Amino acid sequence: MKILDWYIIKKYLSTFIFVVGILMAIIVVIDLVEKMDDFIKRNAPLKAIIFDYYLNFIPYYANLLSPITVFIATVFVTAQLAARTEIIAILSSGVSFRRVLVPYLIGSCVVGAMIFYFTGWVIPNANKTRLAFEKKYTKDQFYFSGRNIHRKVAPDLYVYLESYDNSRDIGYRFTEEKIIGTEMKAKLFAQSVTWIPEKNKWKLTDYRIHTFDGLKETISSGIQKDTIVPNLVPADFGNNYMQYETYTLTELEDLIGELIKRGDDGVEIYQIEKYLRFTSPFAIMILTMMGVIVSARKSRQGVGFQIAFGFVLAFAYILIFIMGKTLAQIGSIPPMVAVWIPNFIFAVLSFILYFVVPR
């Protein structure tokens, strides 16, 4: 690796860290001002604010804004090199522009690998602590408001609840059906089901069980009975605010498989999160290459104009991603397509600009 490569890589990485630091300082101040009343009103301990919340808040938002920060860092470094005619000198010495891109690509691979590791394992575990703090000190008490809840809890087992009171862990008008193929084998009715934490079981109240054997039907009933309902626990009716961000990649894989097996709705949001974590490193590389291409030419408007232009493109990337994510969540497009749309668009745009933009 040549001195030129080390020079550009060092400037790229140091500028990226600097941009992240500046943005995080601004965001932390804004967030603190916004949430100060909640902290005071709910007596949040200073230690918890610093170590449980902001210590985990910073890596989360640093990763969330990485498309912007890496793009701005690239534009800033390259525009400075162009303004000082360093790029002209490099090209005049016989080095091709394609060769100039190599240290940027290496730097983006380093950042991409770091982001992949953090989004896959570090940040999800940090989010568990951060979101627990938010639920306790910044969010109102959660009440489950869903009605007519249908769940597939096992391959041949379906449950229904008319409503659920998460403050007391009681479900009302409970039904459990065992269906093999197209034939119903058993059906259970209960006026209510109550979670018994000591036993990790549900207590049926005023229940009736219908068992079918061909045309023969057997009915049994009772006042109370403890039972186990597979894959149904009070946490299923709890506050799932940003819950998908608390799963590591391994946990996401297991959860998605379980949700698909159960036939649950809402699996798309977990699939989007999974695919997004795999595409993030590619986004870093694509945006880095585009940043070099659009800012390698010395501009009469100066470095400030190129940085502003970089901001516009970075926000355009995020806007396209948000649109794709929304379409995937409502089922209009597959989750994998949604997360790759902005990468594909910007990769094609970078390819076109490489041949069109004068350098």
Give me the mean pLDDT over the 148-177 stretch.
94
Q: Which residue in the block uniquely carries the two structure tokens 């350098």?
A: 359
| Joined tokens for residue 69 | 């920060």
Neighbours of 78 (CB within 10 A): 29
What pLDDT sits at residue 336?
92
Handedness of CA 118, 119, 120, 122 (dihedral sign): positive
Q: State yes or no: pLDDT of 175 exceeds 90.
A: yes
Q: How many angstroms separate the Cα of 301 from the Cα of each of 225, 277, 295?
A: 77, 37, 12
Q: How far is CA 129 from CA 71, 94, 133, in A?
A: 30, 53, 6
The pLDDT mean for the chain works out to 91
Percent of the chain past pLDDT 90, that is, above it, reads 66
Q: Which residues pair with 150 in a beta bridge?
A: 160
- For residue 94, what pLDDT band results from cuts at 50, 70 and 90? confident
pLDDT digits (tens, 9 = 90+) for 252-268: 999 998 888 777 777 88
Q: Which residue would you say has higher pLDDT here, 130 or 358?
A: 130
What's the pLDDT at 318? 82
Q: Which residues contact 96 (CB under 8 A, 6 or more apart)?
A: none
pLDDT at 308: 76
Residues for the chain: how many in total?
Answer: 359
pLDDT for 278 equals 94
Confidence at 113, pLDDT banded by 50, 70, 90: very high
Lowest average pLDDT, out of 14-18, 85-89, 121-125, 217-221, goes to 85-89
Q: What is the pLDDT of residue 300?
A: 67
Q: Model confidence at 359, in pLDDT bands (50, 70, 90)? A: low
Q: pLDDT at residue 297 above 90?
A: no
**Best CA proximity match to 107, nearest among 358, 247, 292:** 292
- Would the pLDDT of 353 be above 90? no
| pLDDT classification of 302: cutoffs 50, 70, 90 | low
Domain boundaries, the chain: 3-139+265-356, 147-237
Contacts of 341 (CB under 8 A, 6+ apart): 320, 321, 324
Q: Are 64 and 325 in contact (CB under 8 A)?
A: no
What is the DSSP secondary structure assignment for residue 245, as one 8-state letter?
G
Collect all residues with Cβ–Cβ distance below 8 Å to 226 and sequence separation of at least 6. Answer: 196, 199, 201, 202, 203, 204
Q: What are phi and psi of 111, to 5 degrees?
A: -65, -45
What is the predicted pLDDT for the residue at 171? 97
Q: What are the percentages of helix, strand and coil residues in the chain, rounded to 5?
A: 60, 20, 20
Residue with tokens 């049994």: 220
pLDDT in tens, 12-51: 999 999 999 999 999 999 999 999 999 999 999 999 999 9
- Say if CB 61 and CB 27 are below 8 A apart: yes
- Percent of the chain at pLDDT above 70? 96
pTM of the model: 0.85
